[in-house]
A = this chain, B = another copy of it.
Amino acid sequence: MTGHIEGFADGPAAAGSEATGVARPGSASIRDVAQRAGVSHQTVSRVINGHPSVREATRQRVQGAIGELGFRPNRAARALSLGTSRAVTVITSDTTLYGRAMILHGVEEAARAAGFPVGVCVLESPEPDAVSRAIERSCDPTAGGVIVIAYDLAGIQALRAVPAGIPVAAALEVTDAEDRARYPSVVLDDRSAARAATRYLLDLGHRTVHYVAIPSSTRSSARTQGWRAALQERGIPAAEVRPAGWTPHSGYQASQQLAADPAVTAVLCGNDDLALGVTHAFREAGRDIPGTVSIVGFDNTPQSAYYHPPLTTVRLDFVGVGHDCFQLLHHAIDPTAPTTPTVAAPPELIVRASTGPPPRRTTRPRKKP
């Protein structure tokens, strides 16, 4: 099955020039519009920018000419002249991760509403070279502003590498006090959320809670900290963190040993995808969920409510974080911008069917049917 690329066609038929037609395909300039409307190009500029001091009749004439010529203002020229542009670019690693994708979506929505084009700049790694290449792509002198998702080392390095003079806002981990003091930023308190989720499991009667973690390039992620804190406050020693990746597959692999150990009755997972893989591993080991083990995730993805069993998880309002980041940036760029109130909701535990009390003190594992 080949040939699914239609490619290398001639592109759209050289759009039929209308009766009133413009000559150059390079499209009309402000001067062409001016000529047609019988005014100076400055006046056209004023009309475009909604400057108040333009006679209504003039404005109409100019608008007419704009329409007839299909004039679209040249953004580059505007940016050069102004020394800045109304545009935002989101700097992040891997846009396919749920949290990143949702923040990007939130930023995009807010930016669109405010008339800002949005760019995406992906970090390849936290290496200095990769970071400066990203900065190069996103921070030219006329860049409007950047939003960096600094949930990992690459993001943090990028944030710190943003040249002075470029407006910036950041999505940060709660635990990153240093950068929170330094940059306008928005934070989701997933440390508290992890603590709350762990307490919830403990309150259910579980003797301890194990943790399967998403990657964290910083020393100790907020979620790990919260989990640890909840254990510590009850004098329970924390078992070793099971490090995993981001995918269900990695969760599956990381939890093989846990699934084989009947003493493991509660597992907190760094995200819902991991939880899906962990669930699979336990089921494969013949363990009923939540009969013999309780599983909790993070994110509240649209899928999690339809897992089998439906997953208890922590809702994280990433879209709200994106909105707020944009608002912060907008304010930094233009202090007269309407300062919309915060929208990001605090994390919240959503209890579903994947959690319950621990099994009655049976130490033997269930056999596979």
Contacts and interface: CB of A to CB of B under 8 A. Distances in A.
A320 to B, nearest CB: 10
A168 B12 contact: yes
Interface residues of A, number: 95
Nearest to A342: B5
Contact of A26 (B2, B72, B141): B141
A356 interface: no
B119 A120 contact: yes
Contact of A96 (B78, B101, B283): B101
Interface in A87-105: 89, 95-96, 101-102, 104-105
Contacts of A165: 25-27
A273 interface: yes
A5 B28 CA distance: 44
A247 B303 CA distance: 8
Interface in A1-26: 1-2, 4-9, 11-15, 25-26
Interface string A346-357: 100000000000
Given A119-B117, A165-B27, A249-B302, A74 B140 contact: yes
B76 A85 contact: yes
This protein's copies in its complex:
2
**Which of A11, A112, A136, A331 counts the most B-chain CB atoms under 10 A from its CB?**
A11
A213 interface: no
Contacts of A121: 117-118
Interface stretch (A35-43, A181-189, A227-235, A257-265): A181-189
A282 B112 CA distance: 40
A57 interface: no
A324 interface: yes
Given A4-B188, A5-B186, A303-B303, A164 B346 contact: no
A236 interface: no
A365 interface: no
Interface string A338-369: 00001010100000000000000000000000
Nearest to A319: B96
14 contacts: A4-B342, A5-B328, A8-B328, A9-B181, A11-B167, A12-B182, A13-B182, A26-B165, A74-B80, A80-B80, A276-B307, A280-B308, A303-B303, A307-B308
Interface of A: 1-2, 4-9, 11-15, 25-27, 70, 72-80, 83, 85, 89, 95-96, 101-102, 104-105, 108-109, 112, 115, 117-122, 124, 136-142, 162-165, 167-168, 172, 174, 180-189, 192, 247-249, 252, 273, 276-277, 279-280, 283, 302-303, 305-308, 324, 328, 331-332, 342, 344, 346
